[in-house]
Amino acid sequence: MTTHHLKLNLDKTELLFLPGKGCPHRDLSITIDDTVVTPTRTERNLGVTLDDQLSFSANIASVTRSCRFLLYNIRRILLFLTDETAQVLIQALIISRLDYCNSLLAGAPASAIRPLELVQKAAARLVFNRPKFSHTTFLLCSLHWLPVRARIQFKTLVLEYRAVKGTAPSYLQATVKTHTPARPLLSAASGRLAAPSLRGPGSRWTRSWLFSVLASQWWNELPTDVRTAESLPISMHSLQEVLP
């Protein structure tokens, strides 16, 4: 930063330590210009709350809390809104928060995603002014809202599509490897990807959460016409039709 004539604001600087498996927990600190920077358990970056275990539980809790607060305020003015206005308002304030950087939650267990699913169901009930415990399957279909887990998978597959087509950042393109059969087969033109190996640093279970592994697995499960779509809008529309 000194080389580029930039000044570090030490009052806003914190240290987030991400320990590897088996790494002992120890008190770390760094000193910059006689100022000690101490570790923190969570830190917010670009609107996402990162925790030292990369579980994103703090981020899910933060999103859930802000969405609940907004739903409460929208409910207070619901009598003054038309159905169309309420839907637009909820999509802009609630659904956009559920979708923001949701690909980071790819592979997360169902228990972790549950709070976000409850927020989405509460939002659907609010659009149609339904009771608290009414069923939401038909409501979500009427609103054309994919469930939270499917929205996470959808966003991940869109990133994978861009990586396959060469329009994604280079670090995502590097995770893509086209499947090449040992001998000429019809599957060579099916747009399938080579499944990354689960061998390497870390356990097999943790490596199965990697973007390169999950995205390739979900990509190969798509119909051939979706994988070989020529443009992103066509692929996005097809993805919405095949995702649960």
Whether residue 51 contacts residue 41, with contact meaning beta carbons closer than 8 Å, is answered with yes
Within 8 A by CB and 6+ apart from 13, the residues are 32, 37
Residue 117: inside a domain: yes
Residue 76: the pLDDT is: 92
> Where are the extended beta strands (E) located within 20-64?
30-32, 35-37, 42-45, 48-51
Whole domain around residue 10: which residue ranges?
1-20+27-40
Dump pLDDT digits (tens) for 177-225: 887 766 665 555 677 888 777 666 665 556 677 888 888 888 888 888 7
Residue percentage of the chain with pLDDT more than 90 = 29
How sure is the predictor about 228, in pLDDT bands with cuts at 50, 70 and 90?
Answer: confident
Residue 186: inside a domain: no
How sure is the predictor about 117, in pLDDT bands with cuts at 50, 70 and 90?
Answer: very high
Question: How many whole angstroms separate alpha carbon 229 and alpha carbon 234?
Answer: 6
Residue 185: inside a domain: no
Put simply, whether the predicted model's pTM sits higher than 0.85 gets the answer no
Residue 205: the pLDDT is: 59
Question: How many whole angstroms separate alpha carbon 29 and alpha carbon 116?
Answer: 35
Looking at the fold, whether 124 and 161 belong to one and the same domain comes out as no
Dump pLDDT digits (tens) for 40-49: 888 888 999 9
Dump pLDDT digits (tens) for 129-178: 888 888 988 998 888 888 999 999 999 988 888 888 888 889 888 888 88
